[in-house]
């Protein structure tokens, strides 16, 4: 069986037997994989092993089983840690949300490996002290693009014209609706043109300008739009979605 060396961020670590763990990992080259870390919880005398921890950054070696099966971790070492994700409450919840999205929306394939970079960038931004809301919005914007459900926010999805008038946000329609087309989705929610423009900036390669400051109202509108978009595509609300608004100030 082939051995593969890769980097990984654990999304979920579950105790298995007395001494081991089963971990769900996002990797750059294989997407989401599940693996057994034998003896990871054993207090070793000779070789010191430490249990896997979610949302840290690892180097590891896997003994690969057939696709979709539990692979075997043969070596691992933490290469980078993100204490803020475990100690700061808003960052913690942002971590939960990101984890839930990557767990729910990726599987074992190369293409989904792109979400690894996206998640790593989020963790690094939060650790560097970037505004947690902004870091989360940039992550959401890029992650939704990778998994193929980014909303259109730079023109009306119905008539392809500019977003003028009393604009709405319609996940079922695929994004923003202009005032003239707003009636096409009665479930759509009101969203300001300014917020749609910010959503567009968030989705660009360069990302939002460092000088961009968001008002409380804009933060709420942006998070709500993402929540609605994700809920529509997952077919259920995010488990942690309702907690996030509590921390936004």
For 194-228, b/e burial (b = at least 16 CB within 10 A) is ebbebbbbbbeeebbeeeeebeeebbebbbbbbbb
Q: Phi and psi (nearest 5°) for 181?
A: -100, -5
Q: Which is nearer to Zn ion, 164 or 239 (CB)?
A: 164
Distance in Å, CB of 193 to Zn ion, minimum: 13
Using CB under 5 A, count the residues that bind Zn ion.
Answer: 5
Residues in region 180-209 near Zn ion by CB under 5 A: 181
Local structure of 31: helix, strand or coil: strand
DSSP output for 53-105: -TT-EEEEEEE--STTSPEEEEEEEEEE--THHHHSHHHHHHHHHHHHHHHHH
Residue 201: both structure tokens together: 């900036």
Q: How far is the CB of 201 from Zn ion (least distance, A)?
A: 21
Helix (H, G, I), strand (E, B) or coil at 30: coil
The only residue of 36, 178, 225, 230 in contact with Zn ion, by rule CB under 5 A: 178
Q: Which is nearer to Zn ion, 94 or 158 (CB)?
A: 158
Our CB check for Zn ion shows the closer of 175 and 203 to be 175
Min CB(210)–Zn ion separation in Å:
33
The interface region with Zn ion, picked from 36-44, 78-86, 173-181, 239-247 by CB under 5 A, is: 173-181
Q: Which is nearer to Zn ion, 103 or 172 (CB)?
A: 172
Q: Which CB atom, from 112 or from 185, has the smaller least distance to Zn ion? A: 185
Nearest approach, Cβ of residue 178 and Zn ion (Å)? 3
Q: 10: how many CB neighbours lie within 10 A of its CB?
A: 22
| Span interacting with Zn ion, options 38-46, 170-178, 204-212, 227-235, rule CB under 5 A | 170-178
21 binds Zn ion (CB under 5 A): no
Measuring CA to CA, how many Å separate 202 from each of 46, 101, 116, 144, 218? 49, 18, 18, 12, 13
Nearer to Zn ion, 152 or 156 (CB): 156
Residues 134 to 163: which contact Zn ion by CB under 5 A? 156, 158-159
CA distances to 72, 73, 151, 186, 195 from 156, rounded to whole Å, are 48, 48, 11, 15, 14
Nearer to Zn ion, 131 or 180 (CB): 180
Binding footprint of Zn ion on the chain (CB under 5 A): 156, 158-159, 178, 181
């Amino acid at each position: 069986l082939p051995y593969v060396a890769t980097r990984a961020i654990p999304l979920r670590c579950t105790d298995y037997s007395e001494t081991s763990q089963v971990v769900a990992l996002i990797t750059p080259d294989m997407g989401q994989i599940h693996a057994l870390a034998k003896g990871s919880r054993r207090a070793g005398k000779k070789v010191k092993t430490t249990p896997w921890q979610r949302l840290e950054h690892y180097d590891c070696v896997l003994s690969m089983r057939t696709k979709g099966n539990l692979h075997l971790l043969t070596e691992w070492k933490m290469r980078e840690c993100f204490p803020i994700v475990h100690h700061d409450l808003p960052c913690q919840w942002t971590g939960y949300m990101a984890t839930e999205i990557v767990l729910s929306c990726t599987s074992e394939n190369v293409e989904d490996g792109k979400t690894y970079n996206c998640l790593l960038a989020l963790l690094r931004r939060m650790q560097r002290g970037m505004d947690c809301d902004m870091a989360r919005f940039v992550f959401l914007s890029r992650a939704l693009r990778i998994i193929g459900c980014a909303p259109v926010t730079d023109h009306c999805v119905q008539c392809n014209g500019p977003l003028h008038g009393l604009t709405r946000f319609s996940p079922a329609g695929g994004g923003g609706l202009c005032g003239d087309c707003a009636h096409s989705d009665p479930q759509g929610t009101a969203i300001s043109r300014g917020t749609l423009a910010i959503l567009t900036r968030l989705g660009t390669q360069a990302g939002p300008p460092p000088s961009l400051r968001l008002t409380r109202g804009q933060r709420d509108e942006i998070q709500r739009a993402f929540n609605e978009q994700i809920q529509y595509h997952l077919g259920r609300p995010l488990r942690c979605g309702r907690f996030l608004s509590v921390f936004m100030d």
